[in-house]
Amino acid sequence: MPVFSKIKLPARMDSLHAFMELAAVCAGNHGFSPGRINDIELALEEIIVNIISYAYPGGEGHIEVICRPDARNRLVFEIADSGVPFNMLACGDPDRTAGIEERRIGGLGVFFVKQLMDEAHYRREDDRNILTIVASGNRKEDQDGTE
């Protein structure tokens, strides 16, 4: 499959808007609904902010995002960085039944990524973290019958 769109920018908060714009344009051009575009933006924002916050302690680096369609007419986003090895998908889901004062800090954003996207995969390749998220044009709950 050919690359649909690609951007590589410094891992800084002032780059976030450009990454979000790439996601919105790719999904919009692919015919995704505004609600589904919001899902993709929320998932991508969580991933990008985590990379900006934690991937390059004491240094600078870049983030690369590639958006491409797959054979099933879904959009595949590959988010890559050369920061410290970290598989955010390996983090356990937060205990949503615990009281607010008993909950540990963090982890909810990763939970949202897993819930909003059809698929999410991590690999470490060539000294890079590569997180792949896949989104169909329908909300995940519409596909699996859950609400």
Q: DSSP string of 44-95?
A: HHHHHHHHHHHTSTTS--EEEEEEEE-TTS-EEEEEEE-SS---GGGSPPP-
Q: What is the mean pLDDT of residues 35-44?
A: 96
- Is the per-residue pLDDT at 88 higher than 60? yes
State which fold the 5-144 domain adopts: Heat Shock Protein 90 (3.30.565)
138 or 133: which carries more pLDDT confidence? 133
Q: Are 31 and 4 in contact (CB under 8 A)?
A: no
Residue ranges per structural domain of the chain:
5-144
Q: Are 44 and 134 in contact (CB under 8 A)?
A: no
pLDDT tens digits, one per residue of 5-34: 999 999 999 999 999 999 999 999 999 999
pTM above 0.75, yes or no: yes
In angstroms, the CA 143 to CA 2 distance is: 26
